[in-house]
Amino acid sequence: MSDFSPAPTGAPAIAAAPAVRSPSQEAAWEYAWTVREFTASDAMAATGMTRSTVIDALENLVGTGLLRELPNARDAGVYRKGRPARRFELRDDAALLVGVDAGRTHITVVVADLRSQPLATHRVVADGTSEDVAQRRRVLAGAVDEALVLAGRTRDEVGALCVGVPAPVDAAGRSPRHPEGFWDLMNPDLMSLFDWAVLRRVDNDASLAAVAEGAAGAAAGRRDYIALLAGDRLGAGVVLDGRLLRGAHGGVGEMIAFDHVEGVGSAHGLGQIAAQWAAEAVAAGEVDPASPLALAPEIDGRVVLELAAAGDPDARRITARVSRVLALIVSVLGSIFDPSLVVVSGAVAAGVDEVADAARRSLPTDLHLPAPELVVSTLGADVVVIGAVAAAADLARECLLERWSA
């Protein structure tokens, strides 16, 4: 996880009111994010500003502590004639980025520098059966604090923090009420929980998977795509025209509507339906009792996908059904949003290559629009936290200078 490109733009909630900053400082700050070390002449060429304006802006940024001036080229031993060039770089240690994947049963926190280089990773197994909101807040706060301890850093050094949750999230970082209270539990006012962070953002986990895929994954360079989280539950992060879509209540990409789509029938993810269908087949005696599937001590989606990949005929029959469901999901999403690409993301992606291959062959041809390209992510189970760090970096790039100067 390093050197993310800018994340798809959205409208994340941020803390505090902006301070006034000069256009020249803003231009120099933006340029510093795009390169490693650079000279004043490099900044002049990139921004179109005069030398005196550039030098003044860079010196002011050095004064804030967000940039550092490096030894000049002569002192560094790489320049011999004429006036030595002044060299600068973004101070990657000026502030921290914190990304959090706040799943129901697993929490991952990554602390990184401003260049998104990880400094520490902390993982917590949470009680997925608990409905105690106060306990979830304590667990999440403790996980972030422990990650900072592992990095040898403190809350005061955090410049931007982003948390991904399995719930829709609006532009203010709030989740709507859920009929069974699940969204309220997953996002128990996390904007206030982390109000000590200079900049903070709470977002849907599938939306952050889309950020990750656009910044460092299969959708890099794409402007119209969907990241499909499809492990236990379906969720979609939708990027169109380079913008991450949210909706009035943060519900773009919520998949409960698939309960009413014939051939899909639920918002269960690929792993969950594979496990369910395998268990039903074993119980109904439709599986060879001596087969690896029947003898598995526990049937979950990972087991079914792994056995199918190994050639087990019973597991392959199950995954063939799963591939048809995936084809329908991709077709419906393609018809509604018209993306050029759908990326199957998350932990389930590690075992769905054959499922995706079969789904590509099963994509309906009667939906008029061209079917989106279907690919499998390479970012693995950490796709949400990768996206959270990328979103925190984007937030820092856009807003940290004005907060720092306030």
pLDDT of residue 134: 96
Q: Sort strands 118-125 and 96-102 into parallel, antiparallel or unpaired.
A: unpaired
pLDDT tens, residue by residue, 350-394: 889 999 999 999 887 777 888 999 999 999 999 999 999 999 999
What proportions of the chain, in percent to the nearest 5, are helix, strand and coil? 45, 15, 40
- Three-state DSSP at 109 gives strand
pLDDT tens, residue by residue, 216-236: 999 999 999 999 998 888 999
Ranges in the chain annotated CATH 1.10.10.10: 23-90
CA atoms lying within 13 Å on the CB side of residue 184: 9
Q: Is the model's pLDDT at 266 over the cut of 90? A: no
- Which residue type sits at 251? G
Q: How far apart, in whole angstroms, are the C-alpha atoms of residue 314 and residue 94?
A: 55
pLDDT of residue 83: 67
- Band of residue 75 on the pLDDT scale cut at 50, 70, 90: low
Q: How far apart, in whole angstroms, are the C-alpha atoms of residue 82 and residue 86?
A: 12
- Three-state DSSP at 115 gives coil
Q: Write down the residue that tokens 């256009």 correspond to.
A: 23
- Band of residue 11 on the pLDDT scale cut at 50, 70, 90: very low
CB 108 within 8 A of CB 126: no
- Band of residue 4 on the pLDDT scale cut at 50, 70, 90: very low
Q: How far apart, in whole angstroms, are the C-alpha atoms of residue 188 and residue 383?
A: 22
pLDDT of residue 26: 94
Over the chain, what is the mean pLDDT?
90
Question: Which residue did the predictor score with more confidence, 27 or 253?
Answer: 27
- Three-state DSSP at 192 gives helix
Q: Is the model's pLDDT at 1 over the cut of 80? A: no
pLDDT tens, residue by residue, 175-215: 999 988 899 999 999 999 999 998 999 999 999 999 999 99
What's the gap between Cα 309 and its chain centre? 28
The pLDDT of 80-84, averaged and rounded, is: 62
- Structurally, what CATH architecture does the domain formed by 23-90 represent? Orthogonal Bundle (1.10)
The pLDDT of 148-156, averaged and rounded, is: 97
Pick the CATH number of 225-378 from 1.10.3720.10, 3.40.1160.10, 1.10.260.40, 3.30.420.40: 3.30.420.40
pLDDT of residue 79: 53
Q: Is the model's pLDDT at 3 over the cut of 70? A: no
pLDDT of residue 268: 87
Q: What is the pTM of this model?
A: 0.90
pLDDT of residue 314: 92
Q: How far apart, in whole angstroms, are the C-alpha atoms of residue 266 and residue 193?
A: 33
Q: Is the model's pLDDT at 142 over the cut of 70? A: yes
Ranges in the chain annotated CATH 3.30.420.40: 96-220+383-404, 225-378
pLDDT of residue 19: 47
Q: How far apart, in whole angstroms, are the C-alpha atoms of residue 10 and residue 405?
A: 24
pLDDT of residue 73: 60
Q: Is the model's pLDDT at 32 over the cut of 90? A: yes
Q: Closest Cα partner for 288 from 320, 309, 316?
A: 316
Element (H, E) at 186: helix 182-186
- Structurally, what CATH architecture does the domain formed by 96-220+383-404 represent? 2-Layer Sandwich (3.30)
Q: How far apart, in whole angstroms, are the C-alpha atoms of residue 63 and residue 78?
A: 26
Q: Closest Cα partner for 216 from 111, 121, 334, 343?
A: 343
pLDDT of residue 17: 38
